[in-house]
């Protein structure tokens, strides 16, 4: 019983990260996904900020789910989310000003982020507080994962750096300083830090995720079919045995 | 009694295959290739070999990895590689055509389902990808090779990996001059000769400079009926018209028109890229909209855009619009036109409403 409880709770978190990943499977919150992921560090910051807001708003919406009248639920959700975003904005401005300036307008825009509103509407308003917090955690981590992967690819291909600004600006390979008299060619594919590269990366990643999930589904279907087939065979065998007995 | 073979339609079959069409396009591209060799030496040929080789390898590898039927034999990868190479500046580092070919074949063509299913022309999309990646390399053009000046056909091979070309060999394209003229208000054709531009003795992309060579190739395609005359003619015609309209208040309208016609990739784009089967509409009305849209966008990009050339962006945008244009279908033989049936429906609706009104009025009159 306890094991089932635990796996149930884990399932909620796993659902957010993998099975219905907000970016690749639900295709929610595309605006920050495309705009902020020019570097992995920005993606990480944006993802974590959204996760914090998501957990807090899911908890509060879930607590108030019986109090909020149905007709004014959307304004109520927006009010709750806006409160947490304002708090977060002030905290970031005070303690991590670099991230605050890097995220710019997209930080206050978390208020209208589809993922947060969608989880409040679809999950938190119908489930208990504990489950809602776990759902917020899973969805937030899924969003963060997607943003970091996208940011990593775009930054690596477009600017030639890995987590720039977070690992003390380590440069790999040959650097310009080694050749003072010769200007090294710039091989970076700068389209990837432009908006067009964001769409390109997102499209290709989404295609890969769809391919993998289709493959998994096919596998499961085949297993299911094989099971059914076996059960049918067994039933047939039993029936044959029965008829033989009757004949005897 | 004679024997009749009963079969379902289609009854008329043609011997045309994708392979034959692609072979015709390759033959039509040969004059432009020879022109690029005569103007810029052997380097553009080296770039073309790299580009074609990478395109074919990319398609072969993709089919191998995804376990699809090998489609290299339809020659379309060779055409894509050739068009891409002719679209590049004559002197680019060796990795530029390689990256471009891989992008064109794998991302634009194969990921969308292979030949005939690409949403845009692979070569033009790859060119735009490269322009956005290495703007410096892709907008730096060189002078034609001058054999009397101590240069030989291998002169440009010194720059195989060098991304920064020395200033001595770079040249401005005619369109860059036109762009400056738009901003400064001078004569756009100053220092240009129409004959040089027609023959290709100017700076520009390897395959697009010689209008003569392109027209020879295009004539071959038109005679073999590989392409239809409508798209190129409407495209080029609308560029002329829109240039005349947009520069109507300038005193050099005529100069603007002929520099826009002969400079840049207009001719090459109109005959070889805008006419791609998979990405251009078929119905007459749709073809008109497609061609006029291409001309309009080209002039808009050239006059107001930050770059001096706009053909590639215009073709990409109209390629994306093509699925919408394909909804305009020609009238099916024996059926009434859409206008007629829709008009009839509207007429019936009016009749209904009117008769209802009349009836209610009559009722009111009776009641009253």
Residue A39 confidence (pLDDT) above 90: no
Contact A189 B93 (CB under 8 A): no
Contact B107 A187 (CB under 8 A): no
Nearest Cα residue in chain B from A204: B107
CB B221 within 8 A of CB B215: no
Rounded to a whole number of angstroms, the distance from the CA of B132 to the nearest CA of chain A is 5
The pLDDT score that the predictor gives to residue B161 is 61
Contact A185 B162 (CB under 8 A): yes
Nearest Cα residue in chain A from B106: A204
The pLDDT tens digits for A177-197 are 666 666 666 678 888 988 889
Gyration radius of chain A over CA positions: 25
The pLDDT score that the predictor gives to residue B129 is 93
Rounded to a whole number of angstroms, the distance from the CA of A189 to the nearest CA of chain B is 5
Helix (H, G, I), strand (E, B) or coil at B142: strand
Helix (H, G, I), strand (E, B) or coil at B92: coil
Contact A187 B95 (CB under 8 A): yes
Q: Tell the residue number behind the tokens 């002719």, with chain if given.
A: B86
What Å distances lie between residue A14 and A27, A136, A140, CA to CA? 17, 11, 11
CB A157 within 8 A of CB A190: no
The pLDDT score that the predictor gives to residue A190 is 85
Per-residue pLDDT of chain B (368 residues; tens, 9 = 90+): 567 777 777 777 788 888 899 999 999 999 999 999 988 888 899 999 999 999 999 999 999 998 888 888 889 999 999 999 999 988 888 889 999 999 999 999 999 888 888 889 999 999 999 998 888 888 888 888 777 776 777 777 766 666 666 666 677 788 888 888 888 877 887 778 888 888 888 888 888 888 999 999 999 999 998 898 999 999 999 999 999 999 888 888 888 888 888 888 899 999 999 998 888 998 888 999 999 999 999 999 998 988 888 899 999 999 999 999 888 776 667 776 666 777 778 888 888 887 777 777 777 777 75
The pLDDT score that the predictor gives to residue A183 is 62
Burial class (CB in 10 A: 0-12, 13-18, 19+), B327: exposed
The residue extents of the domains of chain B are: 18-325
CB B137 within 8 A of CB B25: no
Q: CATH number of the domain at B18-325, out of 1.10.3430, 2.60.40, 1.20.120, 3.30.70? A: 1.10.3430
The pLDDT score that the predictor gives to residue A2 is 67
B95 contacts on A by Cβ (under 8 Å)? 187
Contact A190 B162 (CB under 8 A): no
Residue A172 confidence (pLDDT) above 60: no
The pLDDT score that the predictor gives to residue A168 is 47
What single DSSP character describes residue B200?
Answer: T
Nearest Cα residue in chain A from B165: A185
B135 contacts on A by Cβ (under 8 Å)? 190
Helix (H, G, I), strand (E, B) or coil at B304: helix
Name residue B124's beta-bridge partners. none
Mean of per-residue pLDDT scores for chain A? 86
Nearest Cα residue in chain B from A159: B133
B320 contacts on A by Cβ (under 8 Å)? none
For an interface test with B, give the residue of A153, A160, A187 to mutate (most B CBs within 10 A). Answer: A187
Facing residue for A207 by CB, picked from B95, B111, B163: B111
CB B44 within 8 A of CB B96: no
Contact B107 A200 (CB under 8 A): yes
Rounded to a whole number of angstroms, the distance from the CA of A16 to the nearest CA of chain B is 28
The pLDDT score that the predictor gives to residue B160 is 63
Residue window 120-149, chain B: list those with CB within 8 Å of chain A: 129, 132-135
Facing residue for A186 by CB, picked from B99, B162, B163: B163
Contact B132 A185 (CB under 8 A): no
Output the six-digit token pair for A119.
């989880």
Please state whether B114 falls in left (phi above 0), alpha (psi between -120 and 50) or beta.
Answer: left
Q: What span, in angstroms and rounded, lies between the C-alpha atoms of B348 and A173?
A: 77
The pLDDT tens digits for A69-117 are 989 999 999 999 999 999 999 999 998 888 888 888 888 888 888 889 9
The pLDDT score that the predictor gives to residue B198 is 86
Rounded to a whole number of angstroms, the distance from the CA of B216 to the nearest CA of chain A is 36
The pLDDT tens digits for A119-136 are 898 889 888 999 999 999
Facing residue for B93 by CB, picked from A185, A200, A204: A185
Rounded to a whole number of angstroms, the distance from the CA of B100 to the nearest CA of chain A is 11
A200 contacts on B by Cβ (under 8 Å)? 107
Q: Tell the residue number behind the tokens 């992008």, with chain if given.
A: B103
What Å distances lie between residue A41 and A48, A156, B263, CA to CA? 11, 12, 45
Contact B161 A204 (CB under 8 A): no
Helix (H, G, I), strand (E, B) or coil at B316: helix
Beta-carbon contacts below 8 Å between A and B:
26
Of B107, B98, B102, the C-alpha closest to A208 is: B107
Nearest Cα residue in chain B from A191: B133
Contact B99 A189 (CB under 8 A): yes
């Amino acid at each position: 019983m306890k094991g089932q409880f635990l796996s149930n709770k884990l399932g909620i978190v796993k659902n957010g990260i993998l099975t219905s990943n907000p970016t690749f499977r639900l295709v929610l919150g595309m605006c920050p996904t495309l705009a902020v992921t020019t570097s992995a560090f920005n993606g990480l910051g944006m993802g974590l900020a959204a996760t914090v807001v998501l957990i807090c708003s899911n908890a509060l919406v879930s607590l108030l789910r019986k109090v909020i009248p149905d007709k004014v639920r959307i304004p109520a959700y927006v009010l709750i989310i806006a409160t947490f975003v304002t708090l977060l904005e002030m905290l970031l401005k005070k303690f991590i000003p670099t991230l605050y300036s890097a995220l710019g307008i997209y930080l206050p825009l978390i208020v209208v982020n589809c993922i947060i509103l969608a989880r409040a509407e679809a999950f938190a308003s119908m489930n208990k507080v504990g489950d809602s917090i776990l759902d917020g955690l899973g969805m937030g981590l899924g969003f963060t994962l997607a943003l970091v992967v996208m940011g990593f690819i775009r930054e690596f291909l477009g600017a030639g750096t890995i987590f720039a600004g977070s690992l003390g600006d380590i440069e790999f390979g040959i650097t310009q300083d080694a050749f003072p008299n010769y200007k090294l060619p710039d091989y970076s594919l700068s389209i990837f830090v432009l908006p067009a590269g964001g769409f390109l990366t997102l499209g290709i990643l989404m295609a890969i995720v769809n391919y993998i999930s289709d493959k998994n589904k096919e596998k499961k279907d085949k297993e299911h079919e094989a099971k059914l087939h076996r059960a049918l065979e067994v039933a047939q065998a039993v029936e044959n045995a029965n008829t033989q007995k009757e004949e005897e | 009694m004679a024997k009749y073979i009963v079969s379902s339609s289609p009854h008329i079959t043609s011997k045309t295959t994708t392979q034959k069409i692609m072979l015709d396009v390759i033959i039509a591209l040969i004059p432009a290739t020879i022109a690029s060799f005569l103007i810029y030496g052997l380097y553009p040929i080296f770039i073309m070999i790299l580009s074609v080789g990478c395109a074919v390898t990319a398609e072969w590898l993709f089919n191998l990895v995804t376990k699809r039927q090998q489609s290299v034999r339809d020659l379309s990868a060779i055409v894509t590689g050739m068009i891409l190479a002719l679209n590049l500046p004559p002197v680019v580092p060796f990795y530029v055509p390689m990256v471009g070919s891989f992008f064109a074949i794998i991302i634009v063509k194969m990921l969308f389902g292979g030949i005939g299913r690409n949403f845009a022309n692979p070569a033009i999309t790859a060119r735009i990808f490269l322009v956005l990646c290495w703007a410096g390399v892709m907008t730096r053009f060189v002078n034609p090779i001058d054999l009397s000046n101590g240069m030989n056909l291998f002169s440009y091979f010194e720059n195989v990996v060098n991304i920064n070309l020395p200033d001595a060999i770079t040249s401005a394209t005619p369109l860059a001059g036109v762009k400056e003229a738009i901003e400064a208000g001078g004569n756009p054709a100053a220092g240009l000769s129409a004959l040089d531009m027609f023959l290709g003795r100017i700076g520009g992309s390897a395959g697009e400079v010689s209008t003569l060579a392109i027209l020879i190739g295009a004539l071959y395609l038109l005679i073999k009926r590989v392409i239809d005359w409508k798209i190129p003619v409407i495209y080029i015609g609308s560029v002329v018209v829109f240039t005349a309209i947009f520069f109507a208040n300038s005193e050099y309208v005529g100069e603007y028109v002929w520099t826009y016609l002969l400079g840049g990739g207009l001719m090459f784009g109109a005959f070889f890229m805008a006419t791609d089967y998979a990405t251009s509409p078929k119905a007459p009305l749709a073809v008109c909209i497609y061609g006029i849209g291409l001309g309009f966008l080209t002039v808009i990009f050239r006059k107001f855009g930050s770059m001096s050339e706009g053909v590639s962006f215009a073709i990409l945008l109209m390629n994306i619009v093509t699925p919408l244009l394909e909804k305009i279908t020609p009238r099916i033989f024996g059926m009434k036109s859409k206008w007629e049936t829709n008009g009839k429906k509207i007429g019936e609706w009016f009749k209904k409403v009117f008769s209802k009104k009349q009836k209610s009025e009559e009722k009111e009159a009776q009641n009253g």
